[in-house]
A and B are shown apart, each in its own frame.
Chain A
Amino acid sequence: NAGVTQTPKFQVLKTGQSMTLQCAQDMNHEYMSWYRQDPGMGLRLIHYSVGAGITDQGEVPNGYNVSRSTTEDFPLRLLSAAPSQTSVYFCASSYGQGVGTFFGQGTRLTVV
């Protein structure tokens, strides 16, 4: 079972560059989300989606865009990378509230 698949696993960007982090799940989960994890900060929610065509902002949405055209895919776009966006990014999916969340393996992003 693939579960939640994220690509790439590692990325180095220059300040000002844009890129898209890909996320796909094969569990037919309606709910998907993106988190970033920084030392001492825990995971913080960037954006989330409760189904195709529906997205909303989380705790730290600035500098990121998302879209949800299919149930399976939930890409995260960095519009103009900044060093403050250096972090580990996790995509997650779940059936919904009250049940556990499954995470992708993470993307380690460095912005120089």
Chain B
Amino acid sequence: RKEVEQDPGPFNVPEGATVAFNCTYSNSASQSFFWYRQDCRKEPKLLMSVYSSGNEDGRFTAQLNRASQYISLLIRDSKLSDSATYLCVVNALDNYGQNFVFGPGTRLSVLP
């Protein structure tokens, strides 16, 4: 089983739609969780951290379910500019506890 798995996508949605991405992770001891966004042929950029109580940033809401080892990202009122690949990221438990494991990403296309 891969350490971090995501919805395979792609997701094609109309402008204004609500879309949700799911992510599962295998290591129950993981402590830090993030969503990154990657535009085509660009570097990944941090979208938001994911906190145990859930958190919201404008149109974006992230949820964490530790019992199920599941993370989600909800995007409301989708914009054309939201088209990108969304990466789920979990910290790895290596020698120094500093590394991150990236999911393969879910591609989103918001259509006019």
- Residues of A in contact with B (beta carbons under 8 Å apart): 31, 33, 35, 40-45, 48, 50, 56, 58, 90, 94, 96-98, 100-106
Contacts and interface: CB of A to CB of B under 8 A. Distances in A.
Given A33-B99, A56-B96, A101-B46, 7 more contacts: A43-B102, A56-B94, A58-B94, A90-B43, A98-B32, A101-B89, A103-B44
A40 to B, nearest CB: 6
B34 interface: yes
B104 A97 contact: no
Name the prevailing secondary structure of the A interface residues: strand
16 contacts: A44-B102, A45-B101, A48-B98, A48-B99, A50-B98, A56-B94, A56-B95, A56-B96, A94-B98, A97-B31, A97-B32, A98-B91, A100-B34, A100-B49, A101-B89, A105-B43
B45 A103 contact: yes
**Most chain B beta-carbon contacts within 10 A, residue among A101, A103, A105:** A101
Interface string B80-112: 000000010101101111111111110000000
B104 A31 contact: no
Contacts of B95: 56
B42 A96 contact: no
Interface in B1-15: 4
Nearest to B46: A100
